[in-house]
Amino acid sequence: MNQEDGITIFDFDNCGNGPLILDVGYFCKQLFFIEADKEEYESKVKSFLEGYLQIRNLSDNELQLIPESGAAIFIFYLGVQAKRFDWSNIFYTENYLKMFVGRIKDWIDYHENKKITVNL
């Protein structure tokens, strides 16, 4: 397949420049909560990273920062929600914040002491 026949995917989520590891952390974080079977999650993350690394380089240090980058994205989005909070919004409640912070904790706890490895 040549370059002209390929598919290009654009992600304008935050419309800004930043470390690519934040995008990787975001994807892995989303997959973590979508995929209930954690063995399947691990398999999908491994496949994703192997494909990603064929196009873009990530250092071993960056790979080890995936849990922290995923948590950083969680916190960033919580900040966006807080800034855009409209007092008529019943969604942004104490229970919602507890759930959201609980998810950050679940994400970090799961990845604590895990070394992310990729075979190329």
Give the tokens for residue 69: 């980058």
In angstroms, the CA 4 to CA 52 distance is 20
- Do 118 and 63 form a contact (C-beta atoms < 8 A)? yes
Would 104 be classed as within a structural domain?
yes
Phi, psi (5° rounding) for residue 114? Answer: -95, 135
Would 9 be classed as within a structural domain?
no
The residue segments making up the domain with residue 97 are 18-111
* pTM for the whole structure: 0.78
Number of domains in the chain: 1
Would 99 be classed as within a structural domain?
yes
Would 66 be classed as within a structural domain?
yes
The per-residue pLDDT for range 80-99, each reduced to its tens digit, is: 888 877 765 667 888 988 99
The per-residue pLDDT for range 1-26, each reduced to its tens digit, is: 456 777 766 665 655 677 888 889 99
